[in-house]
Chain A
Amino acid sequence: MQSLAIEYLYHSSLRHSEKTAIYHDGKEITFGELWSQALLLADVLKTLFGSDSAPVAISIPKSIHAVKAISAVQLAGYVFVPVDTNVPPARREIMLKELGEHHLIEYAEGGFTVDGREIALKANGGPEETSGLEKSLMGSLAGRASGEPLYVMFTSGTTGVPKGVTVSNLSVINYIEWAADTYDVNHEEVIGNQSPLFFDHFIFDMYMTFARGCSLHIIPEKFYRFPGTLVDYLIENRVTLTFFVPSVYTHLVALNLLDCSKELSLKKLLFAGEPMPLKILKKLRELFPDALLTNLYGPTEATVDATYWIFGDELGGLEKVPIGQPCRNVKIIILDDNGRPIYEKDKTGEICIGGLGVSPGYWNNPELTKEKFIQNPEHSYYRDIFYRSGDLGYLSSGDGLLYLVGRKDHQFKHLGQRIEPGDVENALLKAEFVETCSVQYDAENSEIVAFFSASAPVASGELRRHLASALPNYMIPRRYVQLETFPLTANKKIDRKMLWASYVRGLNKTRETEKK
């Protein structure tokens, strides 16, 4: 059995050397070329970093170069950390600081830079040089264990500091093997990518391609802003499998863009990242009667996905969309408010995830790791770590499947991205004129709403400008409501429920006046 996830690329470079592995924006690269170019870059990295084992941040937009850099970092024996290239510099600094000692790879004007310096890659010296590098680099990896970290991925944190989730080679191999078996993926599959590099659907797209010799289309962001062009792309490139967030399918359905479903080669539609609306799911079944439709669920801390469900004949009778059952080597328990397991059906509690997908913890943050990764409360015989997801759910007595009902805290998903209101509130409070604030999510209208108080009237344009220097675009609220005072609970905390209720009442009132 293999130990490291990068071995997938090695095997595909032997088996499918001449086959195109990745297409991106008019360019393409074969498995053989990708492998030999990753070896050359890995060789340079190893010379530069030596035995220094600091993680390597990769700040390159999704592209063939980004995949080369990710592969090279693994080949050289380091941990890779994908970083969002669109975040404001201030936020990027916070993330890199959280990593501690690290290196940074970027790509500009036709070449890689490492820690700010341009590096020269030797021209490919032919098969002999490739095999020499392969021998020496793979040789150095021979002693590495499967449980060692593969990547660190950042996700929004409650205090305004993003947290880095550490994920091991073993967890990724376990996930990919399960997914390849379950979804019957082979080298004929053409995967259409949506996810950016720093979101873990990319782990599925990339390693599945490496593992089964598929072809991966890294579809540029602009195709998602104008979904008409996306459908053309999927048709022209005969994409067979997509792993998108539900909002992408929702938009395609809302604009009737999938009515041409017969022109598409899509056979497998995977979705995860946020709840899939039942109405959209049923519409997808109508449009793709023979395709595989599957809903997946899992936080980054559980390695891409922890549960799944493939929809069959039962779909017509469903009243809600289940998240299904645990993936292979995953165990789910549901805990009550006192941290005790709930065994009764239909009773809601916090979803906790154990098994091979569980992350070893947050990078450089033992306190938070201790809080979120706990011993299985069912026993104390041996170490058996479960991740407390903060998601609320229950096991249904009707069909025996898991259903998600919401959050224990105030975290929300916007366009599939996980956002902590505290992260946005923290950024708002850094504006000197903001006194108090509360950030909430209007799921019905897919918009983030910021409530704030200030000493003088503030135009929302000013707040937006302030936030643009601190947060990535998708985290910036769309609506701003200035208040004189905030409703408070008995403990003098902001009463979020009351605040929201009065906001919704206000919205409804406006709508009624508009109708008149």
Chain B
Amino acid sequence: MDNSEIKKQIKEFLLEEFPDQEAELTDEVDLLDNWFVDSVRIVEIILFMESRFGVYLNRADIQGSNFQNIDSIAELVQKHMSQE
């Protein structure tokens, strides 16, 4: 799966889970401000990444910088996919 496909699927998931947000969901928009407002949402996206892409995140992965925007989430997925 290439990077743009991963980004597309993450974007679809976010739009479904967070309908009608103020900001337009681009690859660079800061997700920590408006989207991931609490830990429930972080848990949801992680479980989605695990089930959709078959990647298993470890403790060090689950930190703010990896969830900053769609680009960084996709990068994390890709890093794991190439390892696993």
Contacts and interface: CB of A to CB of B under 8 A. Distances in A.
Do the two shown chains form a genuine complex with each other? yes
Interface of A: 222, 224-229, 231-232, 247-248, 251, 254-257, 260, 415, 446-447, 459-461, 464-465, 473-474, 480
A446 B40 contact: yes
Contact of A228 (B20, B21, B22, B59): B59
Interface of B: 19-22, 36-40, 42-43, 46-47, 56-64, 67
B57 A255 contact: yes
Contact of B40 (A226, A247, A459): A247
Given A228-B62, A232-B59, A257-B59, A248 B39 contact: yes
Contact of A474 (B22, B38, B60, B64): B38
A460 B59 contact: no
Contacts of A415: 38-40
B20 A461 contact: yes
Contacts of B56: 256
7 contacts: A222-B64, A227-B62, A228-B59, A228-B62, A247-B39, A257-B62, A459-B20
A229 B20 contact: no
B49 to A, nearest CB: 11
Residue of B20, B42, B47, B59 ringed by the most chain A CB atoms within 10 A: B59
A253 B21 CA distance: 30
Contacts of B40: 247, 251, 415, 446-447
Contact of A461 (B22, B36, B37): B22
A467 B32 CA distance: 19
A415 B61 CA distance: 23
Contacts of A474: 38
Contacts of A248: 39
Contacts of B22: 461, 464-465
A225 B38 contact: yes
Contacts of B57: 228, 255
B46 A225 contact: no
A447 B21 CA distance: 16
A194 to B, nearest CB: 11
A231 B58 CA distance: 11
B67 A226 contact: yes
Contacts of A232: 59-60
A465 B60 CA distance: 34
B20 A225 contact: no
Given A248-B39, A415-B38, A461-B22, A229 B63 contact: yes
Given A225-B36, A473-B37, A255 B43 contact: yes
Nearest to A458: B20
B39 A227 contact: yes
A96 to B, nearest CB: 25
Nearest to A232: B59
A254 B47 contact: yes
Contact of B21 (A461, A473, A480): A461
A257 B47 CA distance: 13
B37 A228 contact: no
Contacts of A257: 59, 62
A226 B43 contact: no
A86 to B, nearest CB: 11
Contacts of A461: 20-22
Which of B20, B47, B57 is most buried by chain A, counting CB atoms within 10 A of its CB? B20
A232 B36 CA distance: 21
Pick the 8 closest A-B CB pairs, nearest first: A228-B62, A461-B20, A460-B20, A228-B59, A226-B63, A251-B43, A446-B40, A229-B63
A415 B57 CA distance: 23
A260 B59 CA distance: 10
A474 B56 CA distance: 29
Nearest to A256: B56
Nearest to B37: A473
Contact of B42 (A226, A460, A464, A480): A226
Contacts of A231: 59
B62 A229 contact: yes
Contacts of B64: 222, 225-226, 229
A228 B58 CA distance: 8
Contacts of A224: 39
A431 B22 CA distance: 18
Given A225-B36, A228-B59, 14 more contacts: A225-B38, A226-B62, A226-B64, A226-B67, A227-B43, A228-B62, A229-B62, A231-B59, A232-B59, A247-B40, A257-B62, A459-B20, A460-B20, A464-B20
